[in-house]
Structures are given as C-alpha cells and as structure tokens.
Amino acid sequence: MTAPGRFVTFEGIDGSGKSTQARLLADALRRRGQEVVETREPGGSPGAEEIRRLLLEGDPGRWSAETEILLFTAARRDHLERTILPALEAGKVVICDRFADSTRVYQGITRGALREVVDRLHEMMIGREPDITLLIDMDPQMGLRRALARKTGEDRFEAFGLDMQRRMRAGFLALAREFPDRIRVVDGNRAAETIAAEVFEIVTGTPA
Ligand code: ADP
Ligand code: TYD
C-alpha cells in the first residue's frame, strides 16, 4: 500500500463540523492546483452508499453491535477498493469525512467493549490508515444541537442522545492519545474560517 497520494480524514462527534471543514480544506487545496477527491463514510462508493442507508435509517435498535461492525467494515472495504485507493494511486489528495477511527469509537467503545473485534477486522479487511487525521473536538451539547437541527432522516445514531455524545467525545480524545503521530486535535468551538486556517496549516505545513 504505497500509493503516492495523500489520505486525509476528519473525525469527531456528530455536528462537530467535519463536513464543513472537509469542504473548506478541499476548496483551499484545489485553489492551489491540487487534485482532490472528497468522500465520506459510511458511503463513498455506490455499494457503500447502499449500506449507508441500512446503517443510518430506521430503529436505533435495528442492528446488534456486532452486525453493525460487519456492515461498516463491508462498506469501508468497498469504498477503499473503488474510490480511495484508485485516487491515491493516481496521486490525488483524498479527503474523507470519517473513517476507521469512527468504528473504533462508535462500535469499539460505546456499543460494548468490542475494540478488539474492530481492530482484528480492520487488520484483515482494511489494513490502511490515513496519513493524517483531524479530530474536530467539540462540546457534546452544541454538537448534538447542530446535528439534530439538520433533520436529514439519518438520525439513528444521533437518537442515542447527549450521554452517548459525551462518551464518544472522550473516546475520540483517547484515540488521539493512542495515535499521537497521526491524529491532530483541533478546537471546533470557533468560527469555521478560523478552524479551516489551522487545518490547512496542519495538512500542508504552510499558512493559509
Ligand atoms: P458534521 O459533519 O461533523 O456533522 P457539519 O459540518 O455538518 O458537522 O456541521 C453541522 C452544522 O453546524 C451545520 O449546520 C454547519 O453549517 C454548522 N457549523 C459547522 N461548523 C461550524 C462552526 N465552526 N460554527 C458554527 N456552525 C458551524
Ligand atoms: P455522518 O454522516 O458522518 O454523521 P454526522 O454528519 O452527523 O457526523 O455519520 C453518520 C453516523 O454514523 C454517525 O452518527 C457516526 C456513525 N458511524 C459509526 O457509528 N461508525 C462508523 O464507522 C462510521 C463511519 C460512522
């Protein structure tokens, strides 16, 4: 897996501003002449988008934690094969809204102590980490308010509520301590443009 492109991911709780920051980073890199592929999980390829609907719509108790891990991993494998790796091999920058760290936190910690299962499946079926991950850290109450205000119908996870948002935030911060070389924590409780300037500098090593 020595693709020449750069693989950048955004992580954080629901409503933390990941999609906004992914878009602003993509725009900024394109303005500087880079070829960028913007994508997201779950989804990012036709098959994975179908799996997304199974995961995000309907009754919060629809799947067991174990089944959920399998579905997220199946979607990720398809996304990797059909979207991410071809773009990296073509030398592009891939910016992905959520990736395996979300499974480590959401399924590995908060839906039961299943981190080992998540890690073993990742090693077997994915085997690729981002080059850099921006963790947008955010007050859980504010994140939930923003996420629920969107009313997209994809609210199966948001329906778990504030206590779960708190545990997920703690889970992401613990992950940042576990992977200090890859994951950079960015304060999301600021204006979008201020956050975007910091993200750009982290990713490119030059001021925006
Ligand atoms: P996520 O992808 O993490 O769920 P979004 O980027 O979709 O988050 O942002 C959630 C909502 O909050 C959107 O309505 C967005 O316009 C708004 N938002 C994003 N970043 C900021 C910010 N820095 N300050 C205020 N509102 C924001
Ligand atoms: P997303 O569309 O990124 O939601 P948001 O914009 O609200 O952050 O992700 C949808 C939900 O899927 C989100 O609540 C987190 C959850 N999720 C997991 O539980 N595990 C995963 O591996 C991924 C990628 C997402």
74: number of Cβ within 10 Å:
17
Please list the pLDDT of the chain residue by residue as tens digits (208 residues): 456 789 999 999 988 999 999 999 999 999 999 999 999 999 999 999 999 999 999 888 899 989 999 999 999 999 999 999 999 999 999 999 999 999 999 998 866 789 999 999 999 999 999 999 999 999 999 888 888 787 666 665 556 688 888 999 999 999 999 999 999 999 999 999 999 999 999 999 999 8
Q: List the residue whose alpha carbon is closest to atom 4 of ligand 1.
A: 15
User: Whose structure tokens read 């921006």?
Assistant: 134
Long-range contacts, 159-166 (Cβ 8 Å, 24+): 159/60, 160/60, 160/110, 164/110, 165/13, 165/14, 165/140, 165/141, 166/140
Q: Is 103 in the pocket of ligand 2 (CB under 6 A)?
A: yes
**Dihedral in degrees, nearest 10, Cα atoms 99, 148, 167, 66:** -50
SS3 state of residue 6: strand
Residue closest to 48 by CA, chosen among 98, 8, 89: 98
Distances (CA, A) of 113 to 50, 116, 138, 172: 27, 8, 24, 15
Structural domains present in the chain: 6-204 (3.40.50.300)
Q: Is 106 in the pocket of ligand 2 (CB under 6 A)?
A: yes
d(CA 73, CA 100): 8
171: number of Cβ within 10 Å:
20
Q: List the residue whose alpha carbon is closest to atom 22 of ligand 1.
A: 192
pTM, two decimal places = 0.94
How confident is the model at residue 155, as a pLDDT?
A: 62
User: Whose structure tokens read 């897996």?
Assistant: 1
Kindly list the protein residues whose Cβ atom lies closer than 6 A to any atom of ligand 1: 12, 14-20, 146-147, 150, 191-192, 195
Alpha helices in 80-161 (DSSP H): 85-89, 100-106, 115-125, 140-149
How confident is the model at residue 152, as a pLDDT?
A: 67
Q: Is 73 in the pocket of ligand 2 (CB under 6 A)?
A: no
User: Whose structure tokens read 């959920």?
Assistant: 68
Q: How far is the CA of 14 from the centre of ligand 2 (A)?
A: 7
d(CA 9, CA 18): 9
How confident is the model at residue 157, as a pLDDT?
A: 59
d(CA 12, CA 141): 13
Cα 100 to its chain centre, rounded Å, is 7
